[in-house]
Chain A
Amino acid sequence: MTGPSRPGPAAAREVAIVAFAQTRHRRATPELSEAEMLLPVLSEALDQAGLRPGEADFTCSGSSDYLAGRPFSFTMTLDTVGAWPPVAESHVEMDGAWALHEAWVKILTGEADTALVYAHGTSSSGDLRDVLTRQLDPYCTAPLWPDPVALAALQAQALIDAGETDEDALARIAARSRTAAEANPYAPLSGPVPAGDYVVRPLRAGDCPPVGDGAAAVVLAAGDTARRMRARPAWIRGMDHRVEPHALGVRDLTDSVSTRLAAERAGAFDAPVDTAELHAPFTSQEVVLRKALRLDDGVVVNPSGGPLAANPVMAAGLIRLGEAAARVHRGESDRALAHATSGPCLQQNLVAVLEGPERPARQERGPRS
């Protein structure tokens, strides 16, 4: 895997996460349309930032038609944005973490000072284990209907074979995550959760994320605008994402080279982080990510409980960025890493580094053009 060896972008503009809101994630939300689910979340995030609907310079969302079971499902959520007069807006058919990346780039161009980012997913609409098989190679893999638990289990066994973990260690990851989630009112799965039976061996029910519905929203702002909106903005010191080949059989499943590369580009290794929010829906994937990100035991991993406690697909990655930022906002972290993933067995990964302390020499680029 060879990428061009060029340093990431110069930090031409300072951009921060200044607001974060999410739903109380639930197994199912049959009484809510997309708009009804999102409206309160967007209102809460905008209120935190002191923005009115439609006032953000840019809006970007993430969602999936396949999850919803209908084409153009994102067009309905636009009803919640206040897109009148018309707004500068875009959508990624990906987790909202990538919508946040697009919005960050938009602010870096200088064309926007503020951005609203949101994502939602209603996994309860379909059977997630069937739906996600449709992501796979449509010629040689999808016809076999291998579900995401099966694929994660293949990865977990590879880790066990390599001596990187065992079932007890995986159970401890599950227990730590759900204990942490006791302090997270938005997480549906917290406290003591039995390891349960094998779903696909070596993964037990306890190693798998809850399936459910939810939404999240984040507000980004540049420079002094961010400082006006939030006493302690979560400054994005770097952000990058990378993808690996799709087929599991050509990858080393015990490693995540794309995560490591994204982390390098995001500057994650330039200084230690105190907190990491990892998008590891399966316990075994936390093992892979800890190694790729060189996180030692001194780092607080998934203090929110992580995706093992709340995993609204398409929003869960954005929530990692939001949770990490919220800890920075509250002064509980000075330098946090947030990670999001997409695709089978961590195929695609995004890493962002968020900091609370101001940098000595502020380099706010000139006013908006």
Chain B
Amino acid sequence: MSGKEPVAVVGIGQTHHAAARRDVSLPGLVREAARRALDDAELTWADVDAVVLGKAPDFFEGVMMPELYLADALGASGKPVLRVHTAGSVGGSTALVAANLVAARVQRTVLALAFEKQSESNAMWGLSLPVPFQQPLLAGAGGFFAPHVRAYIRRTGAPADTGVLVAHKDRGNALKNPYAHLHEHGLTLEKVRASPMLWDPIRYSETCPSSDGACALVLTDRAGAARSPHPPAWVHGGAMRSEPTLFAGKDFVSPRAGRDCAAEVYRQAGITDPRREIDTAELYVPFSWYEPMWLENLGFAVEGEGWKLTASGATALGGELPVNPSGGVLSTNPIGASGLIRFAEAALQVRGRAGAHQVEGAAKALGHAYGGGAQFFSMWLVGSRPPTS
């Protein structure tokens, strides 16, 4: 026995996402996703060896360390439960921590689940409780990101319409995804362009919603994959990278932690030309402009030219590199789960089970999440075939 155990995704489930899922309790919400993932894998609660739970700040629901309360709701009685919190990247980290349990042969079958029920409080409140002596954020969530977008535009000379294209595309893709929160029928480029400019240069239709939702994956080893009723997705590479929140010389437009994280994933997966070798990518794009920014950060476009890839239509469903065929964070954003949804959607694509938003013949897909002050990154690359090394 040498090297890591190959890790397969054999079950994927998510809730229907909405601004407020008033029909379910917290246990009901997480169980809805977990049951769908188990059903997909044709497994029962008893088949799961361990649970890894991820979410963003506990203040969102007002339950401290909710893995304790939710342990038995997730069938974890007598099992290990680990709770991950790495800010916005937590969904991705949750999948990777679960995958490592399998890769290290510590567990065979692990349920990775991430959720957020933001309607129990208020997202803005939960994200930025007032701190004495400090100036309040002054601008709201979009105000944190918009200056970085302006910096990107200054650096690259990207046309002002770039973000509009992304928002229109992602919201259009969401119409093909029955689980997505926003289903904006009849949204035209003109309507996006005409939507209110909230945090110039970011328009209303270029911002993510606040959602209730959960997502779950069943990860297993080679033997578990052999029993899978549907084709598994195989993990070819996975990595996390962090850099400090604020520091002299930080590049908010293209953080080095993101570049390094992608480089490590590509190294593990043997990817040398991501643009050609990767068939589709689910990127954490909470504001439209982050698509071109991440395209550069992740090596899909050379620096300064991410917007050209977007403008060319390459990132549309049916394009050369579809980005966010699910509709992305712009259409669904239960914060703690948003990263895991990216990872799950990448896996759905290579399993050929993405339904109406399937990228034809997708064999390799990237899932990407980030959080904090663009400082925490987690990514994985999944494939339809087992890794060769």
Interface positions of A (Cβ within 8 A of B): 1-4, 6, 8-10, 12, 59, 64-66, 69-72, 74-76, 78-79, 83-94, 98, 101-102, 105-106, 108-111, 131-132, 134-139, 142, 240-246, 257-258, 261, 342-344, 347-348, 365-366, 369
- Establish whether residues B59 and A65, one from each chain, have CB atoms under 8 Å apart when the complex forms: yes
- Establish whether residues B242 and A87, one from each chain, have CB atoms under 8 Å apart when the complex forms: yes
By a CB distance below 8 angstroms, the chain A residues around B283 are none
B137 smallest CB distance to A (angstroms): 12
- Establish whether residues A65 and B241, one from each chain, have CB atoms under 8 Å apart when the complex forms: no
Quick one: given A84-B243, A108-B104, A134-B63, are A72 and B82 in contact (CB under 8 Å)?
A: no
User: How long is the Cα–Cα vector from A64 to B240 in the complex, in angstroms?
Assistant: 21
Q: List 19 A-B contacts (CB under 8 A).
A: A10-B1, A12-B105, A66-B64, A70-B131, A71-B57, A71-B127, A71-B129, A75-B373, A89-B240, A105-B100, A108-B104, A111-B4, A132-B64, A135-B63, A243-B78, A244-B78, A246-B68, A366-B3, A369-B4
User: How long is the Cα–Cα vector from A29 to B57 in the complex, in angstroms?
Assistant: 24
> B76, B77, B127: which has the most chain A beta carbons within 10 Å?
B77
B97 smallest CB distance to A (angstroms): 6
- Establish whether residues B64 and A134, one from each chain, have CB atoms under 8 Å apart when the complex forms: yes
Quick one: given A9-B104, A65-B57, are A74 and B65 in contact (CB under 8 Å)?
A: no
B242 smallest CB distance to A (angstroms): 4
By a CB distance below 8 angstroms, the chain B residues around A257 are 78
Indicate which residue in B49, B71, B84, B244 contacts A90 across the interface (CB closer than 8 Å).
B84
- Establish whether residues B69 and A137, one from each chain, have CB atoms under 8 Å apart when the complex forms: yes
User: How long is the Cα–Cα vector from A150 to B163 in the complex, in angstroms?
Assistant: 55
- Establish whether residues A83 and B242, one from each chain, have CB atoms under 8 Å apart when the complex forms: yes
Q: Which of B222-247 contact A (CB under 8 A)?
A: 239-245, 247
Asked if B101 is at the interface (CB within 8 A of a chain A CB), the reply is yes
By a CB distance below 8 angstroms, the chain A residues around B247 are 84
Top 9 A-B pairs, shortest CB-CB distance: A108-B104, A71-B57, A86-B257, A1-B78, A89-B242, A66-B64, A93-B85, A134-B64, A245-B72
B99 smallest CB distance to A (angstroms): 9
- Establish whether residues B101 and A105, one from each chain, have CB atoms under 8 Å apart when the complex forms: yes
Considering only CB atoms and an 8 Å cut-off, how many residues of chain B contact the other chain?
67
- Establish whether residues B245 and A92, one from each chain, have CB atoms under 8 Å apart when the complex forms: no
Mark contacts of B346-382 with chain A using CB atoms, 8 A cut-off: 1 yes-contact digit, 0 otherwise.
0000000000000000000000000011011100000
Q: Which residue of B lies closest to A257 (CB)?
A: B78
- Establish whether residues A244 and B256, one from each chain, have CB atoms under 8 Å apart when the complex forms: no
Q: Which of B1-52 contact A (CB under 8 A)?
A: 1-4, 25-26, 46, 49
User: How long is the Cα–Cα vector from A15 to B373 in the complex, in angstroms?
Assistant: 33
User: How long is the Cα–Cα vector from A171 to B78 in the complex, in angstroms?
Assistant: 32
B1 smallest CB distance to A (angstroms): 6
- Establish whether residues B239 and A245, one from each chain, have CB atoms under 8 Å apart when the complex forms: no
B134 smallest CB distance to A (angstroms): 10
- Establish whether residues B240 and A90, one from each chain, have CB atoms under 8 Å apart when the complex forms: yes
- Establish whether residues B80 and A241, one from each chain, have CB atoms under 8 Å apart when the complex forms: yes
- Establish whether residues A109 and B58, one from each chain, have CB atoms under 8 Å apart when the complex forms: no
> A65, A72, A76, A101: which has the most chain B beta carbons within 10 Å?
A72
Quick one: given A12-B1, A106-B100, A131-B64, are A65 and B77 in contact (CB under 8 Å)?
A: no
> A6, A85, A242, A369: which has the most chain B beta carbons within 10 Å?
A242
Indicate which residue in B62, B83, B108, B129 contacts A93 across the interface (CB closer than 8 Å).
B83
- Establish whether residues B372 and A72, one from each chain, have CB atoms under 8 Å apart when the complex forms: yes
User: How long is the Cα–Cα vector from A78 to B21 in the complex, in angstroms?
Assistant: 34
- Establish whether residues A88 and B241, one from each chain, have CB atoms under 8 Å apart when the complex forms: yes
By a CB distance below 8 angstroms, the chain B residues around A94 are 65, 67, 82-83
Quick one: given A90-B93, A102-B82, are A65 and B104 in contact (CB under 8 Å)?
A: no
User: How long is the Cα–Cα vector from A336 to B3 in the complex, in angstroms?
Assistant: 29
Quick one: given A87-B241, A246-B69, are A105 and B83 in contact (CB under 8 Å)?
A: no
B353 smallest CB distance to A (angstroms): 27
By a CB distance below 8 angstroms, the chain A residues around B131 are 70
B360 smallest CB distance to A (angstroms): 33
- Establish whether residues A92 and B242, one from each chain, have CB atoms under 8 Å apart when the complex forms: no
Indicate which residue in B2, B86, B239, B241 contacts A365 across the interface (CB closer than 8 Å).
B2
By a CB distance below 8 angstroms, the chain A residues around B272 are none
Q: Which residue of B lies closest to A133 (CB)?
A: B64
Indicate which residue in A71, A79, A105 contacts B104 across the interface (CB closer than 8 Å).
A105
Asked if B155 is at the interface (CB within 8 A of a chain A CB), the reply is no
Q: Which residue of A lies closest to B243 (CB)?
A: A86
By a CB distance below 8 angstroms, the chain B residues around A79 are 244-245
Indicate which residue in A12, A83, A134, A139 contacts B244 across the interface (CB closer than 8 Å).
A83
By a CB distance below 8 angstroms, the chain B residues around A261 are 78
Asked if B79 is at the interface (CB within 8 A of a chain A CB), the reply is yes
> A6, A8, A246, A257: which has the most chain B beta carbons within 10 Å?
A246
By a CB distance below 8 angstroms, the chain B residues around A109 are 4, 100, 103-104
